Structure 1
Amino acid sequence: MSAAGRFAARTVRVKAPGKVNVSLAVGPLRADGYHSVASVYLAVSLYEEVAATSTAAPGITISLSPESTLDLDDVDIPLDSSNLAYKAAAIMADVSEHATGVHLEITKRVPVAGGMGGGSADAAATLLACDALWNSGLSREELAHLAAELGADVPFSLLGGTAVGLGLGDELSPALAKAQTHWVLVVANYGLSTPEVYRTLDRLRGAGGIDAEEPTGVDPQILAALRGGDAESLGRVLVNDLQRASIELAPALRDTLGIGESHGAIAGMVSGSGPTVALLAEDSVAAAALAEDLQRYGLTALPVHGPVPGARIISDTLL
């Protein structure tokens, strides 16, 4: 297109949810350096947004939206080719016949390095936004295959809802759980490195003479409790094999869990590799009250619910 004036820019905005690992069993260190897992993922009502805008100039650029609710001064988010959203756009450009340049504006709400898949949500949103922007016409299944190339959590952010994850977490099976559960997420003002948490788990297991087994499935009681929205039953079966390692690296997490449970949480756990803490509440009223109590301790506490849908387009605008 030789005349810049004929270029019609378009913006597609997509939201994608963060997630909580309602259960996470971790196998031993494998020869390839990874760990097999068996997990139940729950998409919750804390969303990332990506606005993908076509540009006349080629290439991919990224910026962070001033509407982000995170304090972006305290986090290091790369805005280059190492960003997962950039990689998602690059993959879509490779498979799209009508790709243009694109600018990605990311609104950050899911904690960075918080064990909730915020970067994966950005990537999922970018895949869907670029698919629409460039009229690629890919099915959700085809997008999910691309998502799996970007990391274990990306396909789930596309899918949303509730799912069982096996293998490296990327072998997803949707689970029926329409009933809502209510949570309070306590967001730390620091992050934890997922690889470091796994290394710490291996060290603790070695020091304790613990021989972990390969996980083959998830506790059916967890799925039954989620299906019925039974918070009391769910609270009795929450499990996260990474929690001990996360607390080893960030001992303050133990205090956060204690404060939450002393103020009415049915149960609490570190979400994924942490350091976000997920506290299970009886209902939405209890979650709001718990969040208010925790905020008096100077904690950042956010009431959320799940399951919620995966990535979806919320606007498509010609500029």
Structure 2
Amino acid sequence: MSRVAVGTRRRRAPAKVNLGLRLVGVREDGYHLLESVFAPIGLADALEIEVSPGDPGIELEVVSAPSEALPVALRLPSDGGGENLVVRAARAFCRRRGWDARIRIRLEKRIPVGAGLGGGSSDAAAVLTGLASILDGSEMKSGRVSEELHELALSLGADVPFFLYGSPARVGGIGDEVEPLSGLAALDLVLVNPGIALATPEVYRVADVLRGALTDPGAGSTMRAISRLCGETGDLASALGDLLVNDLEPAARRLCPPVGRLANRLSELGSIGVALSGSGATVFGVFESAERAGRAAEALRAPDSGAAWVCVTRIIAAG
């Protein structure tokens, strides 16, 4: 039975970086088991979700944010690129709730696609929470995620559940295990991408070939060490810099050599820690201050730097 509900919700859909990503196993169905700390950042897409009277259907409009200049390879087509994750999220929500609705979604893109920053997954999570708010008539409390939304999110993609929580989290399994973290500092970051989109399945395939055998689960102690640092005093930024390890980075460097060159350049510019985010090709550097991050970004915007996209941002410490 469908339920009549109308309304409009606006959502920010933040990108994320991985403060380390270890591969600790493979399930029988081929999905990799991982252990990582996901951290939302200030860079975000913007969505307007409108449910109105009329014939049921889902309409998606994609526009580029006026202030953003994304390389062509990192842009989402204006039609969403076919069966877009945003449309899939809306359809899955309506199917689960038995809801026939006329839905219009306007997506303003700032996050590059195929860049290891989780933009599509974040957009999908924003659609789920927005539609739930319209149908239920109330906003979800920060950090409190229903089992229904978590399951829906996981059905859409391994990274989607994390974005429901709105805070840094220790993520395990295939992405279904999300443990929110408190006390993580709002670290200053510079993100840089060579203007090349990497396909996640291909990065994992090459990673398996290069590694031969996956990390023993004991290697996850790196991620647990990061978690333990949250909320403690001391030079957290430097400690994190020493712990940034992404098991997908060698594969990303093999598929996209500019990744390695940009990572080296971030180190030369004073970053206290450099790592690949997700499956790439975005790399990020942690800096001791916003001022130092800004100076590094300015250098990376030089025509001969090899960077096609540069962004200065911060970790969102809490939702």
TM range (shorter): 0.7 to 0.9
1:56-92 Cα deviation digits (max 9, x unpaired): 2311111102436353744454637621111111122
Q: What secondary structure is seen at the aligned counterpart in 2 of 1:231?
A: helix
Per the alignment, residue 33 of structure 1 pairs with 30
- Structure 2: which 5+ runs fail to align? none
Does structure 1 conserve the Cα–Cα contact (< 8 Å) formed by 2:64 and 2:109? no
State the alpha-carbon separation in 2 of the partners of residues 269 and 17 from structure 1.
19
Gaps of 5+ in 1: 1-6, 311-319
Q: Which runs of 4+ in 1 moved over 4 A?
A: 136-139
Q: Measure how far apart 1:95 and its partner are.
A: 3.5
User: Are residues 1:167 and 2:166 paired?
Assistant: no
Q: 1:252 aligns with which of 258, 262, 271?
A: 258
Task: Specify the alignment match of 2:280 in structure 1.
Answer: 274
Query: Aligned to 1:24, which of 9, 21, 25?
Result: 21
Give the deviation of 1:54 after TM superposition: 2.0
Shift of the alpha carbon at 1:23? 1.0
TM-score when normalising by structure 1: 0.86
TM-score by length of 2: 0.86
Higher relative contact order (CA 8 A, sep 6+): 1
Partner of 1:79: 80
Q: CA RMSD in A?
A: 2.5
Superposed, 1:117-128 pairs within 5 Å as: 117-128=118-129
The 3-state SS of whatever aligns with 1:239 is: coil
Deviation digits for residues 150-201 of structure 1 (CA, Å, limit 9, x no counterpart) = 1121111111221111111221111222421111111331210111000001
Instruction: Establish whether residue 223 from structure 1 lines up as the match of residue 256 from structure 2.
Output: no
Identical positions, percent = 33
Tell me the residue number matched to 1:100: 101
Q: CA deviation at 1:257?
A: 0.8
* Distance change (3 Å), C-alpha of 1:223 and 1:106: same
Distance 1:295 1:28 in 2: 39
> Is the partner of 2:190 in helix, strand or coil?
strand
Partners of 1:112 and 1:106 lie apart in 2 by 13
Cα shift readout 1:120-163 (whole Å, capped 9, x = no counterpart): 01101111111123336685323223212211211111112211
Q: Residues of 1 paired with 2:206 and 2:138: CA distance?
A: 43
2:215 paired residue number: 212
Q: How far did 1:9 drift?
A: 6.6
Aligned partner letter, 1:132: S
Q: Is the 8 A contact 1:63 1:105 kept in 2?
A: yes
Q: CA deviation at 1:38?
A: 0.7
Q: Distance in 1 between matches of 2:228 and 2:194?
A: 31
- 3-state DSSP class of the match of 2:60? strand
What count of residue pairs does the alignment treat as equivalent? Answer: 301
Residue identity in the other structure for 1:71: L
Structure 1 residues 28 and 9, CA gap change in structure 2 (3 angstroms): closer
SS of corresponding position for 1:307: coil
Show CA shifts across 1:83-104 (max 9, x none).
1111111122124465421011
Counterpart contact for 1:24–1:38, Cα < 8 Å = yes
CA distance in structure 1 between the aligned counterparts of 2:306 and 2:81, rounded to whole angstroms: 34
Does 1:284 find its partner at 2:290?
yes
CA contact (8 A) 2:10 2:130 kept: yes
